[in-house]
């Protein structure tokens, strides 16, 4: 059911430093920072030949990554995103398997303008997983 690894998201406490690290030190192609008010984050995408790294920085007082960053002062891997062809079919199959979908359970539009869902980390080996329809 799951396809390619679309991205690995890393939450950061200093976006400028994270961009400089990936662009200047690691020599990767890095996008502009984009505010995602619907998701409470600022995103920067690092383009790698086989996948992307999504740098996440909190936006607003109730950003969903604030608690994570309070616990992880140097930042850390926040979630993995796998591609699926049909997000509704994937969701229904996972719900049948007893997995929990975060939020309303309905797909939302993610940072790439595509449908996404997040699955409960306790159901996935302690890893927050995003599914994105491609």
User: Which residues does the annotation mark as catalytic?
Assistant: 130
Helix (H, G, I), strand (E, B) or coil at 10: strand
d(C-alpha 105, C-alpha 60), whole Å = 23
Is residue 132 part of the contact set for Co ion (CB under 5 A)? no
Identify which of residues 3 and 24 has a Cβ nearer to Co ion in the complex: 3
Is residue 55 part of the contact set for Co ion (CB under 5 A)? no
> What residues from 78 to 107 belong to the interface with Co ion (CB under 5 A)?
81
- What SS3 string covers 45-64? EEECCCCEEEEEEECCCCCC
Q: Which stretch binds Co ion (CB under 5 A): 34-42, 51-59, 82-90, 95-103?
A: 51-59
Binding site for Co ion (CB under 5 A): 9, 54, 81, 130
């Amino acid at each position: 059911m799951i396809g390619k690894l679309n991205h690995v998201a890393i939450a950061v406490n200093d976006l400028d430093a994270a961009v400089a690290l990936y662009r200047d030190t690691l020599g990767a192609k890095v996008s502009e920072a984009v505010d995602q008010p619907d998701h409470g984050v600022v995103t920067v995408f690092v383009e790698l030949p086989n996948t992307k790294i999504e740098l996440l920085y909190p936006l607003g007082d109730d950003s969903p990554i604030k608690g994570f960053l309070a616990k992880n002062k140097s930042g850390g891997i926040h979630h993995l995103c796998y591609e699926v062809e049909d997000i509704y079919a994937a969701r229904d199959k996972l719900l049948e398997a007893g997995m929990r979908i975060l939020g309303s359970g309905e797909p939302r539009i993610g940072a790439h303008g595509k449908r996404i869902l997040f699955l409960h980390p306790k159901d996935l080996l302690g890893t927050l997983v995003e599914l994105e329809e491609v």
